[in-house]
Amino acid sequence: MSLKLVILDRDGTINADSDEFIKSPEEWHPIDGALEAIGRLNHAGYHVVVATNQSGLGRGLMDVASLNAIHAQMNKQLSKVGGRIDAIFYCPHAPDENCLCRKPAPGLLEQIAERYGMTLDNVPFVGDSLSDMQAAQAAGCRPHLVLTGQSAGLRGQALPLDFPSHTLMHNDLDAFVSYWLRAVATSSAALSALAT
C-alpha cells in the first residue's frame, strides 16, 4: 500500500504571511482552523510534509536557529490539537541565487519524493501562490490553491489564466481537507463497489 501523503506550503497556507518575512516564533501565527485541519489529515492516516521557500535565510534576515525555533513553535501548537508535521523541506536561497529548490522550481518536491521513495502522481500540494502551483505541476503533484495569504484577493474570482488549468481552489486549508477527505472516501467507495 502506498504512503498517504499531503504536501503543504507554510507561509500563507498554515500561518499568516508577512511582507517583512516571519523571522521569529513571536511572528508566527496560525491561520484559523489550519492546525486542526492538519490534525484531521493525520487522523485519516496521512503524512503531512511542508515545502517552503525561506529566502529570509539567504537575505540574512534570520538564521537557521531562528527558523528551527519557528518550526518548534508550529509543532508545539500542532501537538495541542492532535496534529503533526512529519518533515519540513525548505529552500534557504535568495531569489537571485538561481537554485533548483526555490519554488516555482520543483526541487523541494523532488527531494520529498526521493526521501519517501515514491512518485508524486496524485499527491496534493497545497499552497497560496502561483509559484506553489507551478512547482506542483512541474513535480507531477495535484495543485490545490488556498485563498489565504497571497491569493486572498482571488476569492469570488475565476482561476487566473497563468495558473495551471487543473488547479483547484479552496477558501482555506480547512476547506481543502474537507474536500480531499470527501473525495478520497467517494473514490474508495466506488472502488469497493467495483470489487463486489
C-alpha cell at 149: 495569504
Catalytic-labelled residue, pool 11, 128, 132, 172: 11
Strand order in the sheet with 124-127: 87-91, 47-53, 5-8, 124-127, 142-146, 168-170
Quick check: is 9 catalytic? yes
Quick check: is 11 catalytic? yes
Task: Tell me the torsion sign for CA atoms 69, 73, 86, 15.
Answer: negative
C-alpha cell at 130: 502561483
Q: Mind giving me the DSSP string for 130-165?
A: HHHHHHHHHHTPEEEEESSGGGGGGTTSPPPTTS-T
Catalytic-labelled residue, pool 9, 128, 132, 172: 9
Measured in residues, the chain has a length of 196
Residue with cell 522550481: 105
Are 66 and 28 spatial neighbours (Cβ–Cβ below 8 Å)?
Answer: no
Catalytic (active-site) positions: 9, 11
